[in-house]
Structure 1
Amino acid sequence: MTSSQKPRVLAIAEAANPEWVSVPLVGWSLATALREVADVHIVTQVRNRGALIRAGLAEGRDFTAINSEAFARPMWRLAEVLRMGEGKGWTMVQAVNTLSYPYFERLVWKVFGPGIRDHAWDVVHRITPLSPTVASPLAAHCARAGVPFVLGPLNGGVPWPRGFDAERRREREWLSYLRGAYKVMPGRGATLHHASAILAGSRHTASEVPETCRDKLVYLPENAIDPARFNKQATPEPGTLRAAFVGRMVPYKGPDMLLEAAAPMLRDGRMTLEMIGDGPMRAPLEAKVRTLGIAQAVTFHGWLEHRAVQDVLCRCHLLGFPSIREFGGGVVLEAMALGVVPMIVDYAGPGELVTEGTGIKLPCTDRSGIIAAFRGALESLSADPAPLPDMARAARERVHAQFTWARKAAQVAQVYDWIAQGRPGSPPTLL
């Protein structure tokens, strides 16, 4: 590869789907954004094939779908049984994926191994799985072939904060008590050792990378926004403080804490709250709203298509998001991109995305402490909303300058270039 050529990248994204959310959307978004800075061929699981074709990609030319369903499907069914409830037991799902994913890479090597050995690719980049617990046998294969292997962005495994053990049990996160055991599992050390660069999607994940691999560790938050998808701007009416919650209604995201914190203002007409999303807590929350006498100020929307989410958010001053275990915090970036000020718990992903002047970060204490902190901050803004416009403007500018997928691809391209130059000096600083 010469300096004038785009690098040829084999992008491994087992989960990559523009029609889904969470990890599959991250996989799709980064893999396709990289096509602007590199000659990219995407390798994904066969379940994503139809969505990629509908998005305009040509099978064979732009992507290859690997059919690992013979092993993946029964393992997924096993995970669904072991997690003991829809939307719960995420650590258990990741543990099962840790066992099943190597079969996918085995099939990838069978198809692309000859080309990798012949240096048909300048870089092999595993984008998903995002979980740092999932080993990549391809890393060693690429090292033996003399082809750089990039891993990440890796993210996950943020510890449950103290004071939330009840929520941990309600989420069926029994296996999270043993999560640290992944560090001694076969394959993890070899994956990190053979990688040419490791992208860490959070400070916590970066802290878990062994000291011997820090010379190739690059911090790069996993999430970004597509300006074509989030292209509106919030214009809330003056007067009543308007807030929204967006996300699954499950214990660790704290929708109940937000309701309790806001209840006095909702009751006396100083605030309204839009609840967007669904989940096992929705029915109890709707009952709680009636019990608290605040139903006139709270609207439950259920799941909405992303443009409809924007329409609701653009009527709001604030995103109230007291999640206490958020790995990435994509919804926070999406709100900021619209000029909606985030009010978050200063922990994990959201705490890294929101900076001074772009939102309101409140301490991660215990349940009563978070409720009290949110109530105090909401009361203050209800009495004096003057700080909100400047924060909204700064939040929007931060996201559009640093957290678009195009910007993310350009940052990853810096890593590719650093590798091509023989990794001189320290790893690039991207943020």
Structure 2
Amino acid sequence: MKAVDFVLEAFAAVVAQTDAVLEIIGDGDLRGELEAQTACLGIDSSVVFSGWLSQQQCAIKLQQADALVLRSLREGGGAVVLKAMAVALPVIATNWGGSGDYLNSRGGILVKPASKEGFVNGLTDGMLKLAQPPELPQSMGSAGGERVREHFDWERKVDRIVEIYQQSIDTCPKP
């Protein structure tokens, strides 16, 4: 479940306290309903629906953004979290699957999908935290970038695989 409607609900509380703008990337059958929800919530002047974008356009958007909100309730992969962290972007994501494995509290905010109300409130709190003066978003972005380089960089992965193979070889009985 993609839960964009929950993000809009959470963002309505953010707009009441900040001048933040939410950009939604992607398209689909629910776009009309989501645009109607945005109007109903009175936040249509603060939400931009960009539609489908190429990978290159998405990469540019990530570099221009202040934060990434990955709103999927169950995200098995969450590679976009790593992409955001790699460009030092703080992330708000569901504490489920890949996102929960990649992100820690130093690099972003994980929201538990325990209940709709709790999830929406967690998203609101996360967005409000990152809308504050730049120290927190900047430190989270830096920490996320560092975590990607230390744990998820391809060279580091190859080094770790070589370490595992070497340990296996070392522990095998000699003929």
TM more than 0.5: yes
Q: 2:145 corresponds to which letter in structure 1?
A: R
Please report the RMSD computed on the Cα atoms of aligned residues, expressed in angstroms. 2.2
Q: How does 1:109-124 map to 2 (within 5 A)?
A: none
**In the alignment, is the contact (CA less than 8 A) between 2:24 and 2:47 conserved in 1?**
yes
Q: What runs of 5+ residues in structure 1 fail to find an aligned partner?
A: 1-251, 426-431
**In the alignment, is the contact (CA less than 8 A) between 2:112 and 2:119 conserved in 1?**
yes
Aligned position for 1:263 = 12
2:144 matches 1:395: yes
**In the alignment, is the contact (CA less than 8 A) between 1:269 and 1:297 conserved in 2?**
no
The CA distance in 2 between the partners of 1:295 and 1:283, in whole Å, is: 13
Q: Kindly provide the CA deviation profile for residues 180-238 of structure 1, in whole angstroms up to 9, marking residues without a partner as x.
A: xxxxxxxxxxxxxxxxxxxxxxxxxxxxxxxxxxxxxxxxxxxxxxxxxxxxxxxxxxx
Aligned position for 1:334 = 83
Aligned position for 1:367 = 116
Q: Kindly provide the CA deviation profile for residues 223-264 of structure 1, in whole angstroms up to 9, marking residues without a partner as x.
A: xxxxxxxxxxxxxxxxxxxxxxxxxxxxx1221111110113
Aligned position for 2:59 = 310
Instruction: Indicate the SS of the match to 1:355.
Output: coil
Q: 2:35 corresponds to which letter in structure 1?
A: E
- Give the drift of 1:401: 2.4
Q: Kindly provide the CA deviation profile for residues 23-46 of structure 1, in whole angstroms up to 9, marking residues without a partner as x.
A: xxxxxxxxxxxxxxxxxxxxxxxx
The CA distance in 2 between the partners of 1:380 and 1:410, in whole Å, is: 36
Aligned position for 1:290 = 39
- Give the drift of 1:410: 2.8
- Give the drift of 1:384: 4.2
- Give the drift of 1:359: 0.9
The CA distance in 1 between the partners of 2:144 and 2:64, in whole Å, is: 16
Instruction: Indicate the SS of the match to 1:314.
Output: helix
Instruction: Indicate the SS of the match to 2:156.
Output: helix
**In the alignment, is the contact (CA less than 8 A) between 2:18 and 2:131 conserved in 1?**
no
- Give the drift of 1:332: 0.5
Q: 1:344 corresponds to which letter in structure 2?
A: A
**In the alignment, is the contact (CA less than 8 A) between 2:74 and 2:94 conserved in 1?**
no
From 73, 90, 95, the equivalent of 1:324 is 73
**In the alignment, is the contact (CA less than 8 A) between 1:322 and 1:370 conserved in 2?**
no
Q: Kindly provide the CA deviation profile for residues 267-313 of structure 1, in whole angstroms up to 9, marking residues without a partner as x.
A: 66521111112233222112211222222211112221222112112
Aligned position for 2:3 = 254
Q: How does 1:151-230 map to 2 (within 5 A)?
A: none
Q: What runs of 5+ residues in structure 2 fail to find an aligned partner?
A: none
**In the alignment, is the contact (CA less than 8 A) between 1:258 and 1:321 conserved in 2?**
no
Q: Kindly provide the CA deviation profile for residues 399-421 of structure 1, in whole angstroms up to 9, marking residues without a partner as x.
A: 122212232233233334444x1
Instruction: Indicate the SS of the match to 1:274.
Output: strand
Q: 2:129 corresponds to which letter in structure 1?
A: S
Higher helix share: 2
From 247, 272, 275, the equivalent of 2:21 is 272
Q: How does 1:55-204 map to 2 (within 5 A)?
A: none
Q: 1:372 corresponds to which letter in structure 2?
A: N
The CA distance in 2 between the partners of 1:423 and 1:289, in whole Å, is: 60
Percent of pairs with identical residues: 31
Aligned position for 1:376 = 125
**In the alignment, is the contact (CA less than 8 A) between 1:275 and 1:298 conserved in 2?**
yes
Q: 2:7 corresponds to which letter in structure 1?
A: L
**In the alignment, is the contact (CA less than 8 A) between 2:76 and 2:96 conserved in 1?**
no
Q: Kindly provide the CA deviation profile for residues 83-115 of structure 1, in whole angstroms up to 9, marking residues without a partner as x.
A: xxxxxxxxxxxxxxxxxxxxxxxxxxxxxxxxx
Instruction: Indicate the SS of the match to 2:22.
Output: strand
The CA distance in 1 between the partners of 2:36 and 2:158, in whole Å, is: 45
Q: What is the TM-score of this pair, normalised by structure 2?
A: 0.86
Instruction: Indicate the SS of the match to 1:387.
Output: helix
The CA distance in 1 between the partners of 2:167 and 2:133, in whole Å, is: 48
